[in-house]
Copies of this chain bind each other. A is one copy, B any other.
């Protein structure tokens, strides 16, 4: 029988580095199991072998947390805008818990159950209604006895606080992560103020995920840490950014980039960018360090390799990876063997191979968020007329 694992708070309290996993929806979209647009996680029930394999790859890359693949698995989201699924929310959430647990048991990883923002909130439903939605997902997490809970990918701190309040009732450790950058949430609440509210609501771990590139996210979490400490509160910090460079984003993050979601390739971070990220995050005092959309297993492995000394271990997947390009010593071509050194890769400024493309984009800026009629969601598919209106409008923005 396996020894009892240390819990998430025990690890963080002991000063350990906890490595998160990467981005399931984007990785599985490229593998053919998630549909871009609705981004719902029915693959947990529909194609479990694909989800299990991805969990295993992240475990192998060094992840200490298997997040249940339950992103957007609330009933109101699963049925939004004509997204017809053959599985119920409960089936998907249960299957996701089983897969995460199965792989977590194969290594030193914990299972985290996750909830995220809801169409109901965007449609201005009450806190009672929104909380009821979280509660339904939560019942599965409790039944399946996940190790801790994460409220993640919230654009509005108000909804995140509601989520934390519901999650706290389980007695399990609660992390809260917003998809915001240094400019704050969609109603202009600063990262620092957001963090204070989340900690006061009971979150033991706070941070940001998605929407911005690693260095931008680390900056936002630093602002959180400063405010929490200034308020005399205590918390642990987490960061799970994009694996895309986003220097040109405004407050809404990569959603607004013209390249979202099907033209982001040139922005993908290299493994060497990840070394810098891991070091910056560590130096900022963040100890839960993972990834979100765009993070592939090799990105997480790079984080784990950068922090190998601090963690006292190399990830299993490094058996197939020479540190800082050392594997190239085995290449047949001498000029490629000459690249088997740290300073080469650390200083490389990779070209895009796209001379007709610029380096920065002008993001969309429709300036609407919760409270605006345009964001009321609907169960029915978007009609042709609705689409035509959107196309026309996009040309005048």
Contact with B along A28-58 (1 / 0, CB 8 A): 0111111111100000000001100100110
**Is A331 in the interface zone, CB < 8 Å from B?**
yes
List 16 additional A-B contacts (Cβ < 8 Å) besides A119-B332, A349-B358, A353-B360: A32-B298, A36-B325, A37-B328, A50-B53, A258-B351, A263-B348, A266-B350, A267-B351, A330-B381, A332-B377, A334-B368, A334-B393, A335-B397, A352-B354, A356-B360, A357-B359
**Which 4 A-B residue pairings sit nearest by Cβ, starting from the closest?**
A245-B353, A37-B327, A32-B317, A263-B350
Q: How close is A80's CB to chain B, nearest CB, in angstroms?
A: 7
Residue in B244, B258, B270, B393 whose CB lies within 8 Å of A348: B258
Q: A213-B353, A244-B353, A359-B351 are in contact. Are A330 and B270 (CB under 8 A)?
A: no
Q: How close is A261's CB to chain B, nearest CB, in angstroms?
A: 8
Cα–Cα distance between A392 and B82 once the two chains are bound (Å): 40
Cα–Cα distance between A324 and B322 once the two chains are bound (Å): 39
Residue in B260, B268, B325, B351 whose CB lies within 8 Å of A360: B351
Nearest CB to that of A34 among chain B residues?
B320
Name A's B-contacting residues (CB within 8 A).
29-38, 49-50, 53, 56-57, 60-61, 80-83, 119, 122, 213, 244-248, 255-272, 296-298, 301, 316-317, 320-322, 325-341, 345, 348-362, 364, 366, 368, 374-375, 377, 381-382, 386-387, 390-391, 393-394, 397
Q: Are B53 and A32 in contact, with the CB atoms below 8 A?
A: no
Complex interface: chain B residues within 8 A of A268 (CB):
265-266, 268
Residue in B61, B266, B338 whose CB lies within 8 Å of A352: B266
Cα–Cα distance between A397 and B333 once the two chains are bound (Å): 15
Residue in B81, B245, B262, B334 whose CB lies within 8 Å of A354: B245
Complex interface: chain B residues within 8 A of A393 (CB):
334, 338
Cα–Cα distance between A50 and B50 once the two chains are bound (Å): 10
Q: How many copies does the complex hold?
A: 4
Q: How close is A140's CB to chain B, nearest CB, in angstroms?
A: 23
Cα–Cα distance between A257 and B316 once the two chains are bound (Å): 30
Cα–Cα distance between A328 and B357 once the two chains are bound (Å): 24
Residue in B122, B256, B329 whose CB lies within 8 Å of A332: B122
Q: A245-B352, A262-B270 are in contact. Are A32 and B297 (CB under 8 A)?
A: yes
Can you report 10 A-B residue pairs in the complex whose CB atoms are below 8 A from each other? Answer: A31-B298, A37-B322, A81-B330, A248-B353, A266-B350, A332-B375, A334-B366, A334-B374, A353-B360, A357-B358
Cα–Cα distance between A345 and B262 once the two chains are bound (Å): 8
Complex interface: chain B residues within 8 A of A262 (CB):
270-272, 325, 345
Complex interface: chain B residues within 8 A of A338 (CB):
387, 390-391, 393-394
Cα–Cα distance between A152 and B301 once the two chains are bound (Å): 31
Cα–Cα distance between A29 and B361 once the two chains are bound (Å): 31
Residue in B30, B246, B381 whose CB lies within 8 Å of A353: B246
Residue in B255, B258, B356 whose CB lies within 8 Å of A358: B356
Complex interface: chain B residues within 8 A of A322 (CB):
35-37
Q: Are A335 and B259 in contact, with the CB atoms below 8 A?
A: no
Most chain B CB neighbours (cut-off 10 Å) among A266, A321, A331, A381 = A266
Complex interface: chain B residues within 8 A of A391 (CB):
338, 341
Cα–Cα distance between A326 and B387 once the two chains are bound (Å): 11
Q: A29-B298, A265-B268, A358-B349 are in contact. Are A337 and B244 (CB under 8 A)?
A: no
Q: Are A259 and B348 in contact, with the CB atoms below 8 A?
A: yes
Q: How close is A125's CB to chain B, nearest CB, in angstroms?
A: 14
Residue in B35, B270, B387 whose CB lies within 8 Å of A327: B35
Q: Are A297 and B30 in contact, with the CB atoms below 8 A?
A: yes
Residue in B260, B326, B352, B390 whose CB lies within 8 Å of A359: B352
